[in-house]
Amino acid sequence: MGKTVEKLIPVERDEKKLRRTAWMLVAFAFFGGSAIFFAYKKYEHKSFQDDRPAYVGQLFQNLRVIRQDGRESGLDDLKGNVWIMGAVSVTQPETCARTMAVMKSLSETYNDRNDVILVCMVIDPGPAENVVAVLSAESTKQGATLPKWWFATADPVTLHKYMKDKFKLNDLAHLENGVWVYDTSLTLIDRDMKVRRAVVPQKRGGPQFVTPFDFDQSAAWDEKGVKTGSERTNVDEMKFLLEKTIGHLLSETTPAKS
């Protein structure tokens, strides 16, 4: 005999249960979506308040330079240190007066840190046969001694292009009506030869402000009466920001062993 097949009885629809289930799903979707949204906004706010230095480039290509002691060195010799580069003119020192003042101040601030190096790139060293004498005289004038503070240069065409492209400067150094036009802002490089800039969180929210260390621009803001939101001038605020950013880079990794 064959098996008896039971007759299937359709389940009676319970509209109340169906509506309750539907509302539960809607509520779950709403509150789950809200939780994700607020978690994202919290993360976004936190990321906007992050003031770790921004990465804007890396010195993959080495540059050979002549220093004030007559030695030829590569910039990759500086790997493992935090270093600050500034372009300077020896024939028109007034164009980089503020840069030199900041460099001197940094040399005093970090005098006891062997892993903080200053590099002044001379954009107008003159004839090749006089380069070492020019670098030596200028470094003596500024009180710059090796290995802490380099005065260096290279073939002008090569140097100017390298500085604009690799250090992410705004201007290619050039003469205009007999006056050197070039970017006098300082460039900060970390231990891994990455070019870094300061990050300033915005008090009212929104993406952080990434800024180069342009002291001439800061001085121009001071002349216009632009307020900083603190008791410091724009120049002092920029110096504070530079030293704060250097502190970040010094704490990221330990110096390379010599």
Q: What CATH number has the domain spanning 54-252?
A: 3.40.30.10
Distance CA 169, CA 56 (A): 11
- Which of 92, 97, 98 lies closest to 125 in space, CA to CA? 92
Tokens encoding 189: 């490089």
Question: How many residues are recorded in the chain?
Answer: 258
Cis-peptide, bond into residue 127, ω within 30° of zero:
no
pLDDT for position 38 = 43
Distance CA 78, CA 70 (A): 17
pLDDT for position 256 = 54
Alpha-carbon separation of residue 205 from 40, 177, 229 (angstroms): 15, 44, 16
Tokens encoding 138: 């200028």
pLDDT for position 158 = 96
pLDDT for position 12 = 61
pLDDT for position 202 = 64
Distance CA 87, CA 184 (A): 6
Phi-psi region of 178 (alpha: psi -120 to 50; beta: other; left: phi over 0): left
Distance CA 100, CA 86 (A): 8
- Which of 229, 245, 138, 131 lies closest to 188 in space, CA to CA? 245
Q: Is the CB of residue 93 less than 8 Å from the CB of residue 100?
A: yes
Q: Is the CB of residue 119 less than 8 Å from the CB of residue 219?
A: no
Q: What is the 3-state secondary structure (H, E, C) of 172-183?
A: CCEEECCEEECC
Q: Is the CB of residue 135 less than 8 Å from the CB of residue 148?
A: no
- Which of 81, 77, 58, 83 lies closest to 255 in space, CA to CA? 81
Q: Reduce the DSSP state of residue 151 to 3 states and report it.
A: strand
Torsion angle, CA of 48/51/56/62, rounded to 10 degrees? Answer: -160
pLDDT for position 184 = 96
Rg (CA), the chain: 30
Can you give the pTM of this predicted structure? 0.77
One-letter identity of residue 79: K
pLDDT in tens, the chain (258 residues): 455 555 555 556 666 766 776 667 666 666 655 544 444 444 344 444 456 889 899 999 999 999 999 999 999 999 999 999 999 999 999 999 999 999 999 999 999 999 999 999 999 999 999 999 999 999 999 999 999 999 999 999 999 999 999 999 999 999 999 999 999 999 999 999 999 998 887 666 567 778 899 999 999 999 999 887 788 899 999 999 999 999 999 998 665 554
Distance CA 164, CA 194 (A): 15
